[in-house]
Chains A and B, each alone.
Chain A
Amino acid sequence: MSNNLSAKERLAIDRVKMPEQDAVERSRNFLEVNLGLGEAMAVREAQRCLLCKPRPCVAGCPVGVSIPEFVGALAGGDLPEAARILQGDNALPAVCGRVCPQETQCEAQCVRGAKGQPVAIGYLERFVADWAMAHPERLAAPALPAATGKSVAVVGCGPAGLTAAGELARKGHAVTIFEALHDTGGVLRYGIPEFRLPKTIIDVEVARLVEMGVTIECNVIIGKTLTIAQLQEQFDAVFIGNGAGLPTMLGIPGENLKGVYAANEYLTRINLMGAGQTDSCATPILRGRKVAVIGAGNTAMDCVRTARRLGAERSMIVYRRGESEMPARVEEIHHAKEEGVEFVMLTSPLEILGDDKGWATALRCQKMALGEPDASGRRRPVPVEGEDFDLEVDVVINALGTRANPLLTATAPDLKLNRWGNIEADENGLTSLPGVFAGGDIIRGGATVILAMGDGKRAAAAIHSYISGGN
């Protein structure tokens, strides 16, 4: 395949459309929505890339993937080379190719986006990563350097921890990841539904790290089973990437009624424990006929689409601002709409009403209007007096976000925190404790997978120089 196209020829190619499962069908199953590109489609899309010298797309990527290089290799049909470049920069490319907000990162910077559609970098990343998974025999085994004799403990097996572990293993350090839950992946596994990120993808990416020599110990809760001080004694450095798992409560009457979930509980039951996916699953879940999800971020979209798949007749997003203010990815909102999700906008919950048996029956709501912009830059929702109404529900899911979980930090009194309870770290992830680094949601509050990975990568570089410095 030729990659020697003229700019004119490249410009003449239209952006590829991602094949996806039929909306009606997929709204009742947990199979992946996006079906992935075929090889011919992927190569043709890659040929849209102008391979421009300034590489603004790379600056838009929190982990700095060499985008023009891997896309260029793909455009020339050299898939093993594309995979080598991609995997060298990104520990979890098949994950990123699925869940990254490309439209606000790499693709937002793409030169082709100035006049038309940017190159579908996310789709190409996913294609190359999936191809690499399917063709391990075509890839050269990563050459690992000799063991350095240095050891690093990684707290949390989510995107930040996995990335840091991969980077450090590549440098020859002995890495042990401690995970509190019984399985790997952190938020990738318990938070993101199968229809957006199949569990097998996480399994394969994690297995690649294990092949590189990373040890993973599940069921170890740092702060309880072992303390940070113990890790400092036993390892040359520590990376904390334990996420921000503490639900923000609604703070309205009725939130302890039966049928009211925090998003983390709802998604954990279903994604981590398999509730609702088979009739024989031991972990229960309330399926709900009329489900209201409060919030409008990606987690809210995951909940509302999951509720639909569990059979809800009405599955609703209840949000106090308008559609254009929703923080969720455009693709997720679009997919949710196609699947029959209802968007109840400019609506703020006041109270959850229940029956005499303690079950939620209705969400009392206040109509809102948009006023002047607030500190977030978005127009502030203000109540419209006298305009309240009841929405009939049997399940309510609170997806208002998460805060820093104090379980670990409460047992590390010398670890400096900011006023939100997040760990304070410098630009390299170094905390107030010697040899202890941190990254991901525990330093920045609830954010994205890719930002956590960027933190993991930066901290790994700093840890490498920290533990190598003494030699």
Chain B
Amino acid sequence: MYEVLSNDTLAPNLHRMVVRAPRIAPARKAGQFVIVRCEAGDERIPLTIGDADPAAGTITLFIQAIGASTKKIVAVPPGGFLRDVAGPLGMATEIERWGRVACIGGGVGTAVLFPMARALAEEGNEVTTIIGGRAEPYIILADELAAFSKEVRVTTEDGSLGRKGFVTAELKEMLDDPERAPQAVFAVGPVPMMRAVAEMTRPYGVKTIVSLNPIMIDGTGMCGGCRVVVDGEARFACVDGPEFDGHAVDFASLTDRLTMYRDHEEQCRLAV
């Protein structure tokens, strides 16, 4: 059993939970995730580890409550318990000294981006952060990211905060400005956003890393359910990823596979 120490709401349906996981906290690196089950019989849900405190034996999870299982997880109050937390899983982010990097987060993806961006800054990169969301309440972690970013640019679809529009508009300006052009781009968010970012950087030949979140079961490479096509080959996001070269990912098949259980999810939502 894994005790929930705190549970805050950062944005509508987006929670930050600190969980006691003394074996995982010291082992974890930026870019890795855990598999969580609230109770026996629940679905196995992969969640990125946003932060960890090895001394305290705790990890921080960011959870977007969209389906029945994630809603159940965020409903656990401080002092309550998660039955299973397994990890850390996946490959750690490959942190290099690129020079200037653009870190782009969309929605809950900003939480996944956070440890990557910080690790890149600690390695000596100049980090420009671009975060986007539907509206002001969905913009998260701006202050935390500002602590180590050269600048934080915000876009919202309704214009309620920062520039009105998508993150790609900010990225385009960076790519076109020789003074600001990044040597690498890291993008985490909804699949259409990551796809748009990868398409935008492709003609510029700028290395672009995306973090994928396909449907996943065991998280250890055993079932093959999380396969994504990268460079024409089936790769497993759980053990080969979750980060891949955005220019090599087949986003069309990823988008498609994510709709596999839409009917089931609809039924579960109605049942809640």
Contact = CB atoms under 8 A, between A and B. Distances in A.
A binds B: yes
B221 A407 contact: yes
A281 B40 CA distance: 11
B110 to A, nearest CB: 25
B9 to A, nearest CB: 23
B217 A265 contact: yes
A356 to B, nearest CB: 10
A273 B86 CA distance: 15
Given A220-B23, A224-B27, A268 B42 contact: no
A237 B223 CA distance: 30
Contact of B37 (A180, A182, A245): A182
A245 B68 contact: no
A269 B217 contact: yes
A6 interface: no
Contacts of A249: 224, 227, 234
Interface stretch (A122-130, A256-264, A427-435): A256-264
Contact of B220 (A245, A256, A265): A245
B266 to A, nearest CB: 11
> Most B CB atoms within 10 A — which of A225, A245, A273?
A225
Contacts of B264: 284
Contact of A282 (B24, B69, B84): B69
Contacts of A273: 43-44, 217
A245 to B, nearest CB: 3
Contact of B222 (A264, A281, A283, A358): A264
Contacts of A221: 86-87, 89, 220
A247 B37 contact: no
A246 B83 contact: no
A282 B68 contact: yes
A274 B265 contact: no
B195 to A, nearest CB: 16
B86 A182 contact: yes
A143 B226 CA distance: 47
Nearest to B23: A225
A215 interface: no
A406 B37 CA distance: 25
B257 A265 contact: no
Contacts of B84: 182, 218-219
> Most B CB atoms within 10 A — which of A259, A282, A358?
A282
A4 interface: no
A324 interface: no
Nearest to A410: B239
A134 B271 CA distance: 39
Nearest to B42: A282
Contacts of A284: 260-261, 264-265
B152 interface: no
Nearest to B228: A256
Interface residues of A, number: 37
B87 A282 contact: no
Interface string B228-272: 010000100001000000000000010011011100110010010
Nearest to A230: B27
A181 B218 contact: yes
A224 B87 contact: yes
B85 A258 contact: no
A335 to B, nearest CB: 25
Interface in B14-45: 23-24, 27, 37, 41-44
A280 interface: yes
Interface string A159-198: 0000000000000000000001110000000000000000
A181 B84 CA distance: 9
A405 interface: yes
A255 interface: yes
A256 B253 contact: yes
Given A182-B37, A262-B224, A268-B218, A283 B43 contact: yes
A268 B222 contact: yes
A264 B224 contact: yes
A247 B223 CA distance: 6
A407 B238 CA distance: 10
A286 B224 contact: no
A414 B222 CA distance: 23
B88 interface: yes
A218 B83 CA distance: 11
Contacts of B162: none
> Most A CB atoms within 10 A — which of B69, B84, B222?
B222
B87 A265 contact: no
B268 A405 contact: no
Interface in A405-420: 405-407
A139 interface: no
A273 B215 CA distance: 15
B225 interface: yes
Contacts of B218: 180-181, 245, 268
Interface string A218-240: 11110011100000000000000
Interface in A278-318: 280-284, 286
Interface in B171-201: none
A268 B223 contact: yes
> Most A CB atoms within 10 A — which of B217, B234, B271?
B217
Contacts of B42: 282
Given A246-B222, A247-B223, A225 B41 contact: no
B229 A256 contact: yes
A282 B27 CA distance: 30
Given A255-B234, A264-B222, A273-B44, A180 B86 contact: yes
Contact of A225 (B27, B83, B217, B271): B27
Contacts of B239: 405-407
A280 B271 contact: yes
A261 to B, nearest CB: 8
B221 A226 contact: no
Given A182-B86, A220-B23, A256-B234, A282 B220 contact: no
A268 B87 contact: no
A286 B260 contact: yes
A138 B38 CA distance: 39
Interface of B: 23-24, 27, 37, 41-44, 68-69, 83-89, 217-218, 220-225, 227, 229, 234, 239, 253, 256-257, 259-261, 264-265, 268, 271
19 contacts: A182-B44, A221-B89, A225-B23, A245-B221, A245-B223, A249-B234, A256-B253, A261-B225, A262-B225, A265-B223, A265-B224, A268-B217, A283-B43, A284-B260, A284-B261, A284-B264, A284-B265, A357-B256, A358-B259
What 4 A-B pairs are tightest by C-beta distance, nearest first?
A245-B222, A284-B264, A265-B223, A358-B256
Given A249-B224, A358-B256, 9 more contacts: A220-B86, A225-B24, A245-B220, A258-B257, A262-B224, A282-B41, A282-B42, A283-B43, A405-B221
